[in-house]
A and B are shown apart, each in its own frame.
Chain A
Amino acid sequence: MNLLTLQFLSEIVLLSVVFLLIMKKNVSAVYTYALQSLVVVIILLNSFFETKDLWMLLVILVMLIVKVIVAPKFFISLIKKYALSFSVSTYLNTPITLIVIAVLIFIAHSQKFVPLTSIVSDHQMLLSLALSSMFLSLFLIVNRKGALSQIIGILSFENSIVMFAVFAELEQSASLQLGIIFNIFIWIMIASIFISMLYKHFGTLNVSSMKKLKD
């Protein structure tokens, strides 16, 4: 896969995060996340074709199952169970959100972050895009009031890290990657259980209604 294709895929990931930030429906968010994960899987597949490592293929397959199929399925069933068709509101309105998105992408592409994005000099643009995705994912977690959106934000953040690691050629051993994916799988299950419990207790997944938790 040439650099241009990889850049295109990275841009899809970035756009998916932007979409996650401005969309309103939970179902759309889940599908966007599935699409984002699929793109990351394709990027990893490129890595497999270069290394021909069968373990890597196993990692990609597990990732495909967990992130593209199982996790979205979990979330869709949750949405159906609790009728969460619309996500709760954001802290910032759409125009300001778009401004913040622009600022964060600008920061990620700024000279200040060159030491980080030039780890592999050929991949500077790709790494800047991955870094932008990471910042936007963090912003997604912060800006959304809905617990489900926040969970998707965390998973999107994880996808961005994977993408950054691949472009920075910081891939770890297959066993470690499998372990991480397994962790994510367990985490998704636990998060789903917590969501159910929170919904039962508070009757909403709006985290701003959970202030009493600190007492």
Chain B
Amino acid sequence: MLEIITSPISFFILLSLFFVGGIGSLFFLKNDKYANGWGSFFAIAGSLWGLIFSITAILTKSSLLFDLKTSVFSLFTLSFHIDLLSSFFVFVVSLIVLFCSIYGVGYIKHYYKKYNIGALGFFYNIFIASVILVVTSSNALFFLIFWEIMAVTSYFLIVYEKNDQDNVKAGFLYLVMTYIGTAFIILAFLLLFKYIGSFDFLVIKENIALVPAFIKNIIFVSAFIGFGLKAGIIPLHIWLPAAHPAAPSYVSAILSGVMIKTGIYMMVRLFLDILSPAPYWWGLVILVVGSISSLLGVLYALTEHDIKRLLAYHSIENIGIILLGLGSALTFYSLNLPALALLGLGAALFHTLNHAIFKALLFLSAGSVISQVHTRNMEEYGGLIKYMPQTAFFFLIGSIAISALPPFNGFFSEWLTYQALFQGINQMQFVTQWIFILAAGSLVFTGGLALACFVKAFAATFLARPRSEEVKHAKESPFSMRLGMGALALLTLLFGVFSGYVISLINTVSQSLSIFKNSASAVNISSNQSMTVSDGFSSISGMFIFLLLVVATFLVIFVFKKVINKTQKECKTNTWDCGTDLTPRAEITATGFSRSIILIFKGLLKPTIQNNIEYYDDQNRYLPKSRTITLSISNIYNTYFYQPIHIVINKLSVKAKTIQNGNIDLYITYIFVALMLALLVIL
């Protein structure tokens, strides 16, 4: 039975469920209800099948290798290699898609009679199928085809709410950036083909020694830019905060939780598997980029008052944290420290999984709020906990998890990342040691700032008083939306409490890579599921922390209820308001909350503050009527990176335009001259 589940047929059933879901949705273009039902049903069925398929593959440690040969060209052999690493990513994709699709059943109803539900079902299902194909394909050519399908379908999902011009612009930016990334990826694959003569990943891996070291470095840089762009590393991230918020919220959850991880998957696949052995400096570059991305990502998140943009910036931060694990793994492996490399890779993979879960949860909660309040601006929220208590609870759990507080999952993967960095500080020499120290320092800052950011996000959204009329009309989300969020909230807890068991499975996945064959990880899992790093350097137990917190909570409640409150009389009265009416204007805003932190980092963030004062009497400026402070962050990437590139390309384009002057004879002359030159060169 297990063999059938992990067979090629089972894999094709998985894909066909999404294709049937996608194509079938198009038949219900005129019936929103049926289109929603059909598309969501097959997405849920497909993701459930994906979960069964991937879990079985990981537990039975089975690897699947098969191809569909085309009769004409051997180069175009569609081959799949679903090893444990691929299965792990199929698991991550399926898990998130399952709950997002359940959530989507309720969410999509907001689009009835406004947008085409059949088209949404089509692009959504094909997008999911393409993500699965990306992480399972073993041929560079077909990988690129699936990569493009993923890019195009996600583009249509981003511009789905096409009546909003900002979404269309965001989609265009995404499309342009993704094609720049693809160009770099193609360059990397073509260089590999030049020296190896094959697009098959397994053949490339076996013959990687044929590639000169210098070319390998070029391939690394190209691939890192190409896949880093998809992952959203700084400074290639500009599309991400624009595109992710534009999509429907449950799609945003998948874009942020899953799609950007395909970049991480390919980095692991290429740098640790196909291109190994890797030079020493590759890992250090990844560590530096990871540190910058995590720190700047969270700082930019702090400056945001658009709830979905805030979450999108946190994706950049978390990608940075994942890169810290990956970078340390690569550095350790190149220094022949496989046990520590396994620790770093385990941290990266665990955070990949955890981030997918809590980020999806946060996007779904944000989506529920947006669907009720009809704005993404947090300054217009406030007091939603009274109207949407369950959503508030789920958002709080997501916030705790992303802030890396125990006993939720985010804490444990960040703890492992810290351990990998500490081991680097412990084992490395001067320059490398300092890079590890700075990476650990950046992670410390990131953790603290993330907590501050989510205090802001939760408080500004759910606490205090409503700051707009829309909030007062908000209602709790439908059952399917709450089910999707609730399941993910539960998973953040379970993956934290049982982190020892999850890490032991991730170790199995990591050890399946050929470079780690017969290597033991520096993380040991004891029988009580506690994790110990490097024979007692440090240890932790998710279960113990959970039990401790439960006991502490009950103890505190008991002490308050039975000891302290026993002697005190409970009295309910109004809050003291200095003799004035308490209004939302008295509340601290999201912008106000983050202002002090922004000013600390003003050297990096370059904030601009604009004060506007309106007086009762313009001639006699003693009595101000209102004061407005606008705090904004200048886009330094646009100013110092993209604008100069844009100017240079523009100038070159204007010069190049003279070649195309509309004269047919001149065009034929080009052909003639090119032909003559080609003949003279060849002969």
Residue ranges of A at the interface with B (Cβ–Cβ < 8 Å): 91, 107, 112-116, 135, 138-139, 141-145, 150, 207-208, 210-215
- B679 in the interface (beta carbon within 8 A): yes
Mask, B646-677, CB within 8 Å of A = 1, is 00000000000000111111001101100110
Assembly CA distance A196 to B16 (angstroms): 52
Q: Answer whether A207 and B664 are a contact pair too, CB < 8 Å, given A112-B680, A115-B683.
A: yes
Instruction: Give the top 4 A-B pairs by smallest Cβ distance, nearest first.
Output: A211-B662, A214-B662, A207-B664, A138-B672
Not counting A142-B669, A207-B664, A214-B660, a sample of 5 additional A-B residue pairs whose C-beta atoms are within 8 angstroms of each other reads: A114-B683, A208-B663, A211-B663, A212-B662, A215-B662
Assembly CA distance A141 to B683 (angstroms): 24
Q: Answer whether A143 and B662 are a contact pair too, CB < 8 Å, given A116-B683, A138-B672.
A: no
Chain A: CB-nearest residue to B665: A142
Assembly CA distance A145 to B669 (angstroms): 13
Max count, chain A CB within 10 A of own CB: residue among B664, B672, B683: B664
Q: Answer whether A142 and B668 are a contact pair too, CB < 8 Å, given A112-B683, A113-B679.
A: yes
A-B contact pairs, 13 of them (CB 8 A): A112-B680, A112-B683, A113-B683, A115-B683, A135-B676, A138-B675, A139-B672, A141-B665, A141-B668, A141-B672, A145-B665, A207-B664, A207-B665
CB <8 Å contact, A143 and B665: yes
Q: Interface residues of B: mostly helix, strand, loop or mixed? A: helix
Assembly CA distance A143 to B679 (angstroms): 21
Distance (Å) between the CB of A143 and the closest chain B CB?
Answer: 7
Distance (Å) between the CB of A138 and the closest chain B CB?
Answer: 5
Residue ranges of B at the interface with A (Cβ–Cβ < 8 Å): 660-665, 668-669, 671-672, 675-676, 679-680, 683
CB <8 Å contact, A211 and B661: yes
Assembly CA distance A91 to B669 (angstroms): 12
CB-defined contacts of A141 to chain B, threshold 8 Å: 665, 668, 672
Chain B: CB-nearest residue to A90: B665
CB-defined contacts of A211 to chain B, threshold 8 Å: 661-663
CB-defined contacts of B671 to chain A, threshold 8 Å: 138
CB-defined contacts of A116 to chain B, threshold 8 Å: 679, 683
Distance (Å) between the CB of B16 and the closest chain A CB?
Answer: 41
CB <8 Å contact, A150 and B672: no
CB-defined contacts of A208 to chain B, threshold 8 Å: 663, 665
Q: Interface residues of A: mostly helix, strand, loop or mixed? A: helix
Chain A: CB-nearest residue to B670: A142
Distance (Å) between the CB of B663 and the closest chain A CB?
Answer: 6
Q: Answer whether A210 and B668 are a contact pair too, CB < 8 Å, given A112-B683, A116-B683.
A: no
Assembly CA distance A132 to B245 (angstroms): 63
CB-defined contacts of A213 to chain B, threshold 8 Å: 662
Q: Answer whether A138 and B665 are a contact pair too, CB < 8 Å, given A115-B683, A116-B679, A214-B660.
A: no
Assembly CA distance A143 to B526 (angstroms): 84
Chain A: CB-nearest residue to B680: A112
CB-defined contacts of A143 to chain B, threshold 8 Å: 665
CB <8 Å contact, A91 and B665: yes
CB-defined contacts of A144 to chain B, threshold 8 Å: 665
Q: Which of B662, B672, B679 meets A142, CB within 8 Å?
A: B672
Distance (Å) between the CB of A73 and the closest chain B CB?
Answer: 25
Chain B: CB-nearest residue to A145: B665
Q: Which of B662, B664, B668, B683 meets A138, CB within 8 Å?
A: B668
CB-defined contacts of B660 to chain A, threshold 8 Å: 214
Chain B: CB-nearest residue to A134: B675
CB-defined contacts of A135 to chain B, threshold 8 Å: 676
Assembly CA distance A25 to B660 (angstroms): 30
CB <8 Å contact, B662 and A210: yes
Assembly CA distance A143 to B672 (angstroms): 11
CB <8 Å contact, A150 and B664: yes
Assembly CA distance A170 to B455 (angstroms): 79
Chain A: CB-nearest residue to B682: A115
CB-defined contacts of B663 to chain A, threshold 8 Å: 207-208, 211
CB-defined contacts of B665 to chain A, threshold 8 Å: 91, 141-145, 150, 207-208
Assembly CA distance A182 to B207 (angstroms): 49
Distance (Å) between the CB of B500 and the closest chain A CB?
Answer: 67
Distance (Å) between the CB of A32 and the closest chain B CB?
Answer: 20
Distance (Å) between the CB of B607 and the closest chain A CB?
Answer: 45
CB-defined contacts of B679 to chain A, threshold 8 Å: 113, 116
CB <8 Å contact, B664 and A210: yes
Chain B: CB-nearest residue to A114: B683
Assembly CA distance A213 to B666 (angstroms): 14
Assembly CA distance A138 to B679 (angstroms): 14
CB-defined contacts of A114 to chain B, threshold 8 Å: 683
CB-defined contacts of A113 to chain B, threshold 8 Å: 679, 683
Chain B: CB-nearest residue to A111: B683
Distance (Å) between the CB of B301 and the closest chain A CB?
Answer: 45
Distance (Å) between the CB of A208 and the closest chain B CB?
Answer: 6
CB-defined contacts of B672 to chain A, threshold 8 Å: 138-139, 141-142
Distance (Å) between the CB of B683 and the closest chain A CB?
Answer: 5
Distance (Å) between the CB of B600 and the closest chain A CB?
Answer: 54
Distance (Å) between the CB of A116 and the closest chain B CB?
Answer: 6
Assembly CA distance A176 to B679 (angstroms): 26
Distance (Å) between the CB of B256 and the closest chain A CB?
Answer: 42
Assembly CA distance A142 to B667 (angstroms): 8
Assembly CA distance A112 to B681 (angstroms): 10
Distance (Å) between the CB of A175 and the closest chain B CB?
Answer: 22
Distance (Å) between the CB of B375 and the closest chain A CB?
Answer: 43
Distance (Å) between the CB of A119 and the closest chain B CB?
Answer: 12
